[in-house]
Structure 1
Amino acid sequence: MRTLIVTEFISLDGVIDSPGGGSHPRAGWTFKDVPFVEEAYALKGSEQLEAGAMLIGRVSYDEFAPVWPTMVDDFAEYNAMPKYVVSSTLSDPEWNNTHVLRSLDEVAKLKEGDGAPIIVHGSATLAKGLAAAGLVDRYHLLVFPVLLGDGKRLFGDGDPYTHLDLVECEAYSNGIIKQVYDVTR
């Protein structure tokens, strides 16, 4: 069975909305408000090398597909690997090696196969749905020292009780904290 990993840039108050750009009033908060420290982002490089597939929601697909394929040096592995978009409306995705899944049941079937981990980027709605369905195995969180107040959150609003085991934790000079948790079942 494949491991499903949700990876997020997250504010201290749990917001994952628009970390690099988007519609949130503080969009781009990951690079506008916190000094860049290269080692704080090492997790993102290792995720790309270790993942066997990427899973995203429709909104994330619409944001990533026009940009990531042009960033050959930064996202070579992601651009080459199979990508799965959970969507009831997307047809004929243009991003290389992209497939559409229509339900979380299809995600569960994908997870049942053999292979490297499936990495989930962005999409609060998808991440919450995966968690509620018991499909998330691990969380990779880069917690930023900012409070955004409002926006899409990774946790809350009736999420099921979930126990997490801390696997890895590291603090960086810019205040970012890497937290890696396994979901305990």
Structure 2
Amino acid sequence: MRDLVYTGFVSLDGVVDSPGGGPGEDHRSGGWVIKDVEYLPEAFSLKGEELEDTAALMFGRRSYEAFAPIWRDSQDHSAYRDLPKYVVSATLPDDALVEGWGPTTILRSTRDVVELKQRAGGAIFIHGSAELARRLSDASLIDRYHLLVFPVLLGAGKGLFSNADKDKQVLRLRASAAYPNGIVKLVYDVVR
């Protein structure tokens, strides 16, 4: 069975954001990742380490539409170019897929995600996609979290974790590190 790994930037109160904010960041503090914390390359080294384990990428529709046109041509994201990509969306039309960014498959339901996880292959990493992450977490489909926790409290924005009344999920710490700029790296396995 393939591992499904959520990776993201998160505030101490659980809000996820893209590095620069912008469209889709539906709160006044969007862009806090690059605005409010001193940049230290070592604090972001987790992103490079993940590449060794990434066999495929998964996105929700909105994150795919935001990332695909930019990451396809970005030298910073060139290692992702030819990886298989999966977009979980009931509404994204097939003709909306970005050409030239590797093989991309639309998964129409959570059941499709379950079937994908049961196939042979390496880890699938979810970037951004807070709504998708909540839904897959509630369905007990996420196996690991790679989080860079930033020393900010936002009080509004896209929460990583849902408020659904569900069974407790226990996490086991795999790795952690704290950096002088206040960022904390937390890598957790979901205990089943």
Fold agreement, TM-score > 0.5: yes
Q: Give the length in aligned residue pairs.
A: 184
Match of 2:67 in 1: 64
Cα distance in 2 for partners of 1:39, 1:18 equals 19
Q: Tell me the percent identity.
A: 53
Give me the TM-score of the superposition, normalised by structure 1.
0.95
Gapped runs of 5+ residues in structure 2? none
Q: Give the 3 Å change call, closer, same or farther, for CA 89–46 of structure 1 in structure 2.
A: same
1:32-58 Cα shifts (integer Å, max 9, x gaps): 110000011111011123200000000
Q: 1:166 aligns with which of 173, 188, 191?
A: 173
Cα distance in 1 for partners of 2:148, 2:117 equals 24
Cα distance in 2 for partners of 1:98, 1:140 equals 23
Q: 1:180 aligns with which of 178, 187, 192?
A: 187
Q: State the secondary structure of the residue aligned to 2:116.
A: helix
1:128 has 2:130 as partner: no
Q: Superposed, which structure 2 residues align to 1:93-112 within 5 Å?
A: 93-95=97-99, 96=101, 97-112=103-118
Match of 2:13 in 1: 13
The more displaced of 94-103 and 140-149 is 94-103
1:146-167 Cα shifts (integer Å, max 9, x gaps): 1111111011411532111111
- CA drift at 1:84: 0.4
8 Å contact kept, 2:86–2:104: yes
Cα distance in 2 for partners of 1:175, 1:131 equals 27
8 Å contact kept, 2:17–2:31: no
1:38 has 2:41 as partner: yes
The more displaced of 89-98 and 123-132 is 89-98
Match of 1:155 in 2: 161
| Runs of 4+ that moved beyond 6 A | none
Q: State the secondary structure of the residue aligned to 1:40.
A: helix
Cα distance in 2 for partners of 1:143, 1:159 equals 24
1:78 has 2:93 as partner: no
8 Å contact kept, 2:138–2:162: no
1:78-136 Cα shifts (integer Å, max 9, x gaps): 12100100011212211422111101111111111111100011111100111111111
Q: State the secondary structure of the residue aligned to 1:166.
A: strand
Over the aligned positions, Cα root-mean-square deviation in angstroms equals: 1.3
Cα distance in 2 for partners of 1:56, 1:48 equals 16
- Which AA in structure 2 matches 1:65? A
8 Å contact kept, 1:145–1:175: yes
Cα distance in 1 for partners of 2:147, 2:72 equals 24
Cα distance in 2 for partners of 1:147, 1:4 equals 27
8 Å contact kept, 2:59–2:88: yes
1:55 has 2:62 as partner: no
